[in-house]
Amino acid sequence: MNLASFRKHTIRHLPAALLATALLAGCASPRPDSGFDQVNQTVRQHLNKDLQWARDENHRRLIDERVSALLSRPLAADDAVQLALLNHRGLQAALDELGIAEADRIRALSLPNPGISIGRTQRGAEIESGLAFHFNLARLLALPLAAEVESRRVAQLQAETALRAVTQAAEVRKAWVLAVASTESVRYARQVMEAAEVSAELARRMADTGNFNKLQHAREQSFQADATLNLARAEQAQKASRERLTRLMGLWGAQTAYRLPERLPDLPAALDERTALEALAISQRLDVQGARLAAERTASALGLTRATRFINVLEIGLERERSNEAPDKTGWEISLELPIFDSGQARLARAEAVYRQALNRAADIAINARSEVREAWSNRASTWEMARYHREQIVPLRQRIAEENLLRYNGMLIGVFELLADARAQIASVNAAIDALRDFWLAQADLDMALIGRPSATLPAVSALVRPDSAPAHANPH
C-alpha cells in the first residue's frame, strides 16, 4: 500500500474506530460515593456495624453526635467497635484513599489533551508560518483496556479498605477484652494486698509481744512486698491496655474518660459447631479476595502491555502551512515511534514476572488462610476448655476449702494466719479464672478475624504497566 492509499484508508476508517473509545471517555464521571458504599456493605456484612466517612462538616457533625451518644454509657465490646469505625482518623484517611483512587480513575479514562504547534520561518523575502494540531492516538486506543484495569484497581482498593476496617474492629475487640480483664485483675490484686497488709500488721504486733518469731514475721512482710509489686504491675497493665483501646477508638481530650464494664462477659455454655472452615475462609476472607483481584488486575495489565508493546508513541495530527509567496497548504500526519532499539521486550518480560508474582502471592495467602483458621479454631476450643475448668472445678473447689477453713477457724482449730493465707489463695484462683476467660475471648476474636482475613503484604503496583509511554512526538509544523 503506497502512502497516498494508506492516508486515504486511515482517514476513512479512523473516526468509526475511535467513536466507541471517545464515548467511553466522555461517559466517565466521578461517582458521588467514590466506591464507599461497597466498602460499607462489606463491613456491615462481616461486622453488622456501620462505617461512616466524614466527607464534609455535616458528616463530621453527625459522627460526633453518635460518638457522644456511645460515650454516655459504659462501653460494651460492640460499642467500642462501632465507635472506632466512626471515629478513628487513620481509618478515615484510608477512606479518603477511595476518593483519590476515584479521581485517578476518572483521569485515566479522560480523553488525552490535544497539542498544538506553531512555527514561523523566513528565507529571504519568503515568510512561512505553520500551525499543527496533534493528538495522542495511542492513549486513546488504550482507553478500553485502561478502563478495565482501573476498575479492577478500584475494586482491589475497596477490598483492602474493607479489610482495614474489619482488622481495626478485631484489634479494638481484643483491646477491649484486655482493658476490662486488667481492671478486674487490679481489683483482685488490691484485695490480695489488703489481706497481706492485715497479715503483716498482725504479724508485727505478735512479734512485738514475743508471740511470733522473726522468720514468721519476715515471711509475712515478704508476702506483703510481693503483693504490693503485683498490684503496681496490674495497675500499669491496666493503664497500658486502656491507652491502647483509647488509641484504637481514636479518642482524645475529655473523651478519654469513657467507662468500661466491671467484668468480662460470661463464658458460653457451649461452642458452636462449624464445618468446612477452610472452605468458608477461602470464600469470604477479604485478603484472599484482594489477592485474587490483584492477580486479575495484573493479568489485565499484561494484556495491555502486549497490546502496546510496539506502540510507545502514536500520534495523529492536522497541519496547515501558510506562505506569502504560495497558496496555503493543509494536510495531516501520523507520528509513530519505530521500535528499533527498544522493542518492548523488557516491558513484556517485566509484566509477565509481575503476573507470576501475583499468582504466587495469591496462592501463599490462600495456604496461610487455611492454616490460620485451623489454628484459631483449635486455640478457641482449648481456651474454652481451660476457662470452663477454672469456672467449674478450680474456683468452686477453692471456695469449699475456704468455707471449711472458716469453720475450723470458728472452732479454734486454725489460726488467723492460716485463714488469711487461704483467702489469698482463693483470690488468686479467681484471678486465674479471669485470665482464662480473657484468653478465651481473645481466641474468639482471633477466630473471627481468621475467617475474615488479615492485612496482606503490599500487593504489586501495576500502574506502571497499564499506561503506555505518553511522551509526545511533536508534529513538525513545516
pLDDT band at 325 (very low <50, low <70, confident <90, very high): low
| Residue after which a domain boundary falls, among 326, 342, 358 | 342
- Among the residue ranges 117-126, 134-143, 326-335, the one predicted with the least confidence is 326-335
242 in the same domain as 174: yes
C-beta of residue 324 within 8 angstroms of C-beta of residue 312: no
Average pLDDT, the chain: 77
- Cell 476508517 -> residue: 13
**Structure confidence at residue 290 (pLDDT):** 74
166 in the same domain as 73: yes
Q: Is residue 472 domain-resident?
A: no
Give mean pLDDT, residues 167-176: 93
88 in the same domain as 55: yes
The DSSP letter of residue 440 is H
101 in the same domain as 196: yes
Q: Is residue 237 domain-resident?
A: yes
Does pLDDT of 409 surpass 50?
Answer: yes
**Structure confidence at residue 248 (pLDDT):** 95
**Structure confidence at residue 386 (pLDDT):** 94
Does pLDDT of 339 surpass 80?
Answer: no
Does pLDDT of 13 surpass 90?
Answer: no
- Among the residue ranges 81-90, 96-105, 178-187, the one predicted with the least confidence is 96-105
**Structure confidence at residue 18 (pLDDT):** 46
Does pLDDT of 155 surpass 50?
Answer: yes
Q: Who has greater pLDDT, 458 or 126? A: 126
Highest mean pLDDT among 220-234, 257-271, 317-331, 414-428: 257-271
Percentage of the chain lying above the pLDDT 70 cut? 76
Rounded Cα–Cα distance for residues 134 and 126 (Å): 26
236 in the same domain as 131: no
Q: Is residue 89 domain-resident?
A: yes
pLDDT band at 12 (very low <50, low <70, confident <90, very high): very low
**Structure confidence at residue 464 (pLDDT):** 37
**Structure confidence at residue 384 (pLDDT):** 94
**Structure confidence at residue 246 (pLDDT):** 96
Residue 453 Ramachandran class (φ > 0 left, ψ -120 to 50 alpha, else beta):
left
Highest mean pLDDT among 53-62, 99-108, 252-261, 338-347: 252-261
C-beta of residue 54 within 8 angstroms of C-beta of residue 237: no
392 in the same domain as 252: yes
Does pLDDT of 337 surpass 60?
Answer: no
- Looking at residue 118, which CATH number applies to its domain? 3.30.1300
**Directed axis angle between helix 143-208 and helix 36-47, to 10°?**
40
Q: Is residue 477 domain-resident?
A: no
- Looking at residue 302, which CATH number applies to its domain? 1.20.1600.10
**Structure confidence at residue 116 (pLDDT):** 80
**Structure confidence at residue 127 (pLDDT):** 74
C-beta of residue 22 within 8 angstroms of C-beta of residue 14: no
**Structure confidence at residue 471 (pLDDT):** 36
352 in the same domain as 302: yes
204 in the same domain as 190: yes
Q: Is residue 478 domain-resident?
A: no
Q: Is residue 70 domain-resident?
A: yes
The pLDDT tens digits of the residues spanning 302-311 come to: 665 665 554 4
Maximal C-alpha separation, the chain:
133
The pLDDT tens digits of the residues spanning 241-299 come to: 999 999 999 999 999 999 999 999 999 988 877 767 777 777 778 778 777 777 777 77
The pLDDT tens digits of the residues spanning 55-99 come to: 888 888 999 999 999 999 999 999 999 999 999 999 999 888 888
Q: Is residue 475 domain-resident?
A: no
14 in the same domain as 120: yes
Percentage of the chain lying above the pLDDT 90 cut? 23
User: How many structural domains does the chain have?
Assistant: 2
Q: Who has greater pLDDT, 445 or 331? A: 445
**Structure confidence at residue 102 (pLDDT):** 83
**Structure confidence at residue 359 (pLDDT):** 80
Q: Is residue 330 domain-resident?
A: yes
Rounded Cα–Cα distance for residues 455 and 166 (Å): 10
356 in the same domain as 284: yes
The Cβ of residue 41 has, within 10 Å, a number of other Cβ atoms equal to 13
371 in the same domain as 273: yes
Q: Who has greater pLDDT, 199 or 324? A: 199
User: What is the SS3 assignment for the chain?
Assistant: CCHHHHHHHHHHHHHHHHHHHHHHHHHCCCCCCCCHHHHHHHHHHHHCCCCCCCCCHHHHHHHHHHHHHHHCCCCCHHHHHHHHHHHCHHHHHHHHHHHHHHHHHHHHHCCCCCEEEEEEEEECCEEEEEEEEEEEHHHHHCHHHHHHHHHHHHHHHHHHHHHHHHHHHHHHHHHHHHHHHHHHHHHHHHHHHHHHHHHHHHHHHHHHCCCCCHHHHHHHHHHHHHHHHHHHHHHHHHHHHHHHHHHHHCCCHHHHHCCCCCCCCCCCCCCCCCCCHHHHHHHHCHHHHHHHHHHHHHHHHHHHHHHCCCCCCEEEEEEEEEECCCCCEEEEEEEECCCCCCCCHHHHHHHHHHHHHHHHHHHHHHHHHHHHHHHHHHHHHHHHHHHHHHHHHHHHHHHHHHHHHHHHHHCCCCCHHHHHHHHHHHHHHHHHHHHHHHHHHHHHHHHHHHHHCCCCCCCCCCHHHHCCCCCCCCCCCC
Query: Could you tell me the three cell numbers for 325?
Result: 509567496
Give mean pLDDT, residues 195-206: 80
Q: Who has greater pLDDT, 66 or 452? A: 66
pLDDT band at 318 (very low <50, low <70, confident <90, very high): low
Which residue range forms the structural domain that includes residue 418?
31-110+142-309+344-466
**Structure confidence at residue 45 (pLDDT):** 86
Residue 257 Ramachandran class (φ > 0 left, ψ -120 to 50 alpha, else beta):
alpha
Give mean pLDDT, residues 378-384: 92
**Structure confidence at residue 78 (pLDDT):** 93
**Structure confidence at residue 303 (pLDDT):** 67
Which amino acid would we find at residue 316? I
The DSSP letter of residue 273 is P
* pTM across the whole model: 0.71
Rounded Cα–Cα distance for residues 463 and 138 (Å): 17
- Among the residue ranges 130-144, 255-269, 441-455, the one predicted with the least confidence is 130-144
Name every residue whose Cβ is closer than 8 Å to that of residue 118 and which is 6 or more positions away in sequence: 129, 130, 131, 132, 477
217 in the same domain as 86: yes
The pLDDT tens digits of the residues spanning 347-356 come to: 777 777 877 8
